[in-house]
A and B are shown apart, each in its own frame.
Chain A
Amino acid sequence: MAYSFPEEVLEHVFSFLSLARDRNAVSLVCKSWYEIERWCRHRIFVGNCYAVSPEIVIRRFPELRAVEMKGKPHFADFNLVPEGWGAYAYPWIAAMAEAYPFLEEIKLKRMVVTDESLELISKSYKNFKVLVLTSCEGFTTDGLASIAANCRHLRELDLRESEVEDLSGHWLSHFPDSCTSLVSLNMSCLGSEVSFSSLERLVARSPNLRTLRLNRAVPLEKLANLVRHAPQLVELGTGAYSSEIRSDTFSSLADAFSACKQLKALSGFWDVVPSYLPAVYSVCSGITSLNLSYAAIPSSDLVKLISQCQNLQRLWVLDYIEDSGLEALAASCKDLQELRVFPSDPFGAEPNVSLTEQGLVSVSEGCPKLESVLYFCRQMSNAALIAIARNRPNFIRFRLCIIEPQAADYLTLEPLDAGFGAIVENCKELRRLSMSGLLTDRVFKYIGTHAKKLEMLSIAFAGESDLGLHHVLSGCDSLRKLEIRDCPFGDKAVLANAAKLDTMRSLWMSSCSVSFGACKLLAQKMPRLNVEVIDERGPPDSRPESCVVERVYVYRTVASRQRLDMPDFVWTLDEDSSMRYS
């Protein structure tokens, strides 16, 4: 059987397997398949950088070319993870620099990346091609300069939503004139102005450039020039979209856009002056993705633009669109698959726009392919949620944020259990759910009963007792990531479902009722889980065991439970069964 095939043949067969899931399955068949597979795996994805160590990865997969990794838990996006918690990229970069001289791709999300790391990347990998840093932090434009200067074959430099210390725009000028390989450049998160002539020349000498996302500092008057150099663009992110109203600027821009026959995605649009929007009308019919989430434009202008985009599949927009705009969207964009509506004034006490649950209902009615929603609003009702669920049983992602915590159904003043219950019951393929509003344990019962494909669940200010958490942990068969904040869930549910945690990537609980004693117990019971107590009040063992912890982050790991970079507010169980801190 296995012996009768030469390794090369098996390798060739395996080369058709791209999904990690398939490769993992293959490597479990027998030892020789495990060996063959590991030598020909070129791409890995590590969902939690602390689930495994660089040494383990390098030992098992000696021939990697692409590494994708995630660091901090999702709630770090909302400042719930204290500064300095971890997720440093450097140890990985350094280890891989030695082990993988032919590494081509590094994609990191929510990790701390330093200039040293970037410099090391730029100097260690001769064939480096792709660097994607999503929501990362810790580096400056100097690091970018190293990448630009040294990566001769760079294809992608994508800094989406990272926090970069912007020392100057000079980094862009470090791309050597010989660099013509650029396919994707996303610098939208940067603040300072780059040298426009450098940028223009870079764009002009990159015939393969498909994605160009500029930062706000690139003025509208210059946009036309850039676009003219790259009519082959597929994705364009503008800079600031405002300028004095001048007909020559307008017509120049309109002409430039009309030459872009392949443009599919538009983003940027800071500081929009609506009069300039018609300049993109010529490309609207081909647009499938539109990110207007920084554009403060009235609903009427939004509608004029959107109604030109008949083939729109993805729309990110601010709540300025209002219910009326969403209704128009539902009428014109029948291919819509993803909608995200962000709040323009999330901290205001009163609504500043007329966006209610009705907008979402309209879109769910009118857009048969809608499968992914992120919606911020200020009022919701069970009736609306039930209608939405019935309209759109094909939801895969449903994230609803009612801005006021624990807001009840505004019509009946009841909890929104029935509404969310309808969502999980009708949407059998639901993989991701974020809930808000007033919710009792009942909604968790519905979730545990129906949400069998649910992989990620985010809960805030919900529930009444441990029973709620128990329903979720015991019922959701596919659950991988669970993040909870400010809910009355405690020891009983966590300990009773300890085994479940081994099947998940991670569990985050902050401002809940999990006691330190329970954390210790859990860590003792489950040796392959790392139970991190993240508490800024000092050592947890200086308080009674019954004291609740501020935050606990539980994840499965094959690496050591005492990670070397633990800050002083993180405690994990030590070998001798006491919680130690570094």
Chain B
Amino acid sequence: MSQKINHKQWSLQQKSKLRWVRGTHFGEIYNVVVAHKPDKGGHLPTKLTHFSFLFTHHCPHLKGKKDRVFMQIGLLGGGGLFTMSSSEESYSYPDESDLELGLGLSLGGGKTKTKTKHLVAAGGGGSWDHYARILTAKDFAGVVSDKTSSSSSSSSSSSSITKVNTSGTKRTAESPCSPPGRSAIRFSYGSSQVVGWPPVRTYRMISMSNQVKSPVTEQLFSIDDKCKSKNADTPNPNHGSCKNNNISKENGFAKTSLFVKVNIDGVAIGRKVDLNAHTCYEALSRALDDMFMPSASVGGRGSNMEKQSSVAGKRQPVRFHDGSSDFVLTYEDKDGDWMLVGDVPWEIFLSSVRRLRIMRTTDAKGLAPGSQERNRRRPVTPL
């Protein structure tokens, strides 16, 4: 299903339970595809709270940092594939039968407290991925006239977040201006992707983060080894759900936060992760997976992987803590050296880490010669 966008303010009224879809006109819209990821059984969830739109770096408002823009629109009843494409291209999606399509699918509106995390646009010329994944310049290459972006638009298993931002910056030098009358682009992709949002002063964030764990906490509260008891479906084990048990609360309050910045290669805006919210590398790794590659962690790991791969048919979700990924998790320690995460005991890591960086495997070669070998034997550590 596709629809042309007329570069005007539009709103899409629904037939049945679709509530309200709104938007403003953006730069030029390319290859905007919104999809949702299926659950374990391969079904799309029956409720979506928001859709998001992806805008390419062609929009001159988008500097390097802002090359991915998502906009929330109202609830669209039913998981679906809703695509809009520019007049220049249209895309076909081979496995549409597996997806519930489009608008008008019935769905009670009603309360939904769980937002679908990280809805992203997916798709590209001919490559339809059932999993939401973060798009790259490759996906838009066919549409975008920027020669500096990657040329291939088809998916490949090594697809990842490529240099969207750099091409974005170059773009702005080439064709920096949007035609008159364009509206502002709005940003909405998890709050931390947006500069200055939510409006909490840096001073406050810095003050709240605690670099030194109080020794009292060890005495007063027992800290479970969450790694063992963790449910694979819970991405953030220590961020218990609202009504959660006292244990998670106690743990949550005994430790104050240890926020460190995490940057992934190819994306200018970093995010922050609270290291004290995790008790081992695996938890951290999972959280980072969710943060940067949201599709990758759906449905658990290990044996489910094969099932997912076969359902997807095409590309493997990108992950960075098994051997097959393009990314490596590294950190900068107190002395300013970049090390591979996972080599030292967790507590020592916590006391020396300053920030994290998800590096491309190719760039990470220099880090620790023997580590590739070593890490393959240890499934929980990142490669």
Contact = CB atoms under 8 A, between A and B. Distances in A.
Nearest to A404: B191
Nearest to A320: B253
A271 interface: yes
A75 interface: yes
A460 B271 CA distance: 20
Nearest to A74: B199
B307 interface: no
A245 B216 contact: yes
A543 B187 CA distance: 24
Q: Which of B112, B197, B203, B216 has the most CB of A within 10 A?
A: B197
B207 interface: yes
A407 B71 CA distance: 10
B34 to A, nearest CB: 15
Contacts of A342: 200, 204
A78 B242 CA distance: 28
Contact of A414 (B20, B63, B257): B20
Contacts of A438: 22, 72, 74
Contacts of A354: 242-243
Contacts of A407: 72
B200 A346 contact: yes
Interface string B220-245: 10000000000000011001111100
A438 B73 CA distance: 9
Given A79-B196, A298-B250, A511 B109 contact: no
Nearest to A356: B242
Of the listed residues B184, B191, B215, the one surrounded by the most CB atoms of chain A closer than 10 A to its CB is B184
B61 interface: yes
B202 interface: yes
B186 A406 contact: yes
B272 interface: yes
Given A405-B72, A515-B180, A413 B20 contact: yes
A393 interface: no
A403 interface: yes
Give chain A's interface secondary structure class. loop
A413 B240 contact: no
Contacts of B167: none
B177 A543 contact: yes
Given A242-B216, A411-B111, A544-B177, A79 B71 contact: no
Contacts, number: 209
Interface string A497-530: 0000000000000011101000000000000000
A579 interface: no
Contacts of B186: 405-406, 461, 486-488
A88 interface: no
B201 interface: yes
A244 B218 CA distance: 11
A490 B113 CA distance: 35
B176 A401 contact: no
Interface stretch (A138-146, A289-297, A360-368): A289-297
Interface size class of A (residues with CB under 8 A): 35 or more
B130 to A, nearest CB: 21
B61 A461 contact: no
B182 interface: yes
Interface residues of B, number: 77
Contacts of A412: 19, 109
A270 interface: yes
A253 to B, nearest CB: 15
Contacts of A565: none
A227 interface: no
B190 interface: yes
Contacts of A3: none
A353 interface: yes
Contact of A376 (B24, B198, B216): B198
B61 A548 contact: yes
Contacts of B109: 412-413
B236 A296 contact: no
B195 interface: yes
Contact of A352 (B110, B205, B240): B240
Contacts of A245: 216, 219-220
Given A543-B177, A547-B178, A163 B203 contact: yes
A408 B198 contact: no
B210 interface: yes
A327 to B, nearest CB: 15
A71 to B, nearest CB: 15
B192 interface: yes
B61 A490 contact: no
Contacts of A23: none
A379 interface: yes
A244 B219 CA distance: 9
A47 interface: no
Contacts of B50: 408
A6 interface: no
A99 interface: no
Given A320-B253, A345-B257, A548-B60, 9 more contacts: A296-B256, A347-B198, A404-B72, A408-B74, A413-B19, A438-B72, A486-B187, A544-B177, A548-B177
16 contacts: A77-B199, A243-B216, A274-B253, A298-B250, A345-B239, A349-B118, A352-B252, A354-B243, A376-B198, A404-B190, A408-B19, A412-B19, A413-B109, A488-B24, A490-B181, A536-B63
